[in-house]
Amino acid sequence: MSYSAGVYISPTKPRTRAFTNRFINIALNHSVSHTPQKKDELFRAVEEGELDRVQELVRHVGPSVTRGRKEYTLLHVAAENNRPHVTLFLLQLISPNVLVGHLFEAVLNEDVGRVRSLLRVGADADQHAVRDATGWLARELQITSVRHLARVLHHDSILRVFDAVRRTRNFKSEPCTATHHSIDFPSPPHKKIQPSPVEVSGPDVYRMDSAPRGYVCLLSYGSFQDRPDLHLEGSQTDAHHLASVFSRMGYSGHAHFSLTADQTRHQLAKVRDMEVLARAGCAVYVISSHGEPRRHFLTSDMHTLDVQWVMDFFKDSQCPHLRNKPKLFIWDLCRGHQEGESGRGKTSGQLCGRVDEPLRDVVCLDSSSGGFTWHAFSEEGTPFIGALCTTLARHSPTKELAELYREFLKEYATAAPDAVPQLTNYGLNKRFYF
Q: How confident is the model at residue 423 (pLDDT cuts 50, 70, 90)?
A: very high
State the Cα–Cα distance between residues 256 and 180, nearest whole angstrom. 7
Q: What pLDDT shows up at residue 6?
A: 37
Name residue 121's amino acid: V
- Of 149-163, 182-196, 368-382, 399-413, which has the strongest mean pLDDT? 399-413
pLDDT digits (tens, 9 = 90+) for 32-59: 444 566 888 888 898 888 888 888 887 7
Q: How confident is the model at residue 425 (pLDDT cuts 50, 70, 90)?
A: very high
- Kindly state the average pLDDT of the residues 253-265: 92
Name residue 80's amino acid: E
Q: How far is CA 37 from CA 29, 32, 194, in A?
A: 15, 10, 49
- Kindly state the average pLDDT of the residues 227-252: 86
Q: Which residues contact 346 (CB under 8 A, 6 or more apart)?
A: 306, 309
- Kindly state the average pLDDT of the residues 389-397: 90
Does pLDDT of 154 surpass 70? Answer: yes
pLDDT digits (tens, 9 = 90+) for 277-299: 999 999 999 999 988 767 889 99
pTM: 0.57
Q: What pLDDT shows up at residue 121?
A: 57
Q: Which of the listed CATH numbers 3.40.50.1460, 3.10.450.100, 3.40.50.720, 3.30.1360.30 matches domain 181-426? A: 3.40.50.1460
- Kindly state the average pLDDT of the residues 392-397: 89
Query: Where are the strands (E) in 127-249, listed by range?
Result: 181-184, 215-220
Q: How confident is the model at residue 10 (pLDDT cuts 50, 70, 90)?
A: very low
Reduced to 3 states (helix: H, G, I; strand: E, B; else coil), residue 272 is helix
What string of DSSP letters covers 366-426? ES-SSS-------TT--HHHHHHHHHHHHHTTT--HHHHHHHHHHHHHHH-TT---EEEEE
Reduced to 3 states (helix: H, G, I; strand: E, B; else coil), residue 67 is strand
**Paired strand residues for 216:** 253, 284
- Kindly state the average pLDDT of the residues 357-373: 79
Please state, rounded to an integer, the average pLDDT across all residues of the chain.
Answer: 75
> Residue 174 carries which DSSP code?
S
Q: How confident is the model at residue 65 (pLDDT cuts 50, 70, 90)?
A: confident
- Kindly state the average pLDDT of the residues 313-318: 91
Sorted by where each begins, the domain ranges of the chain are: 2-173, 181-426
Name residue 271's amino acid: V
pLDDT digits (tens, 9 = 90+) for 103-116: 777 888 888 877 87
Of 73, 57, 156, the residue nearest 121 (C-alpha): 73
Q: What pLDDT shows up at residue 363?
A: 94
- Kindly state the average pLDDT of the residues 385-410: 92
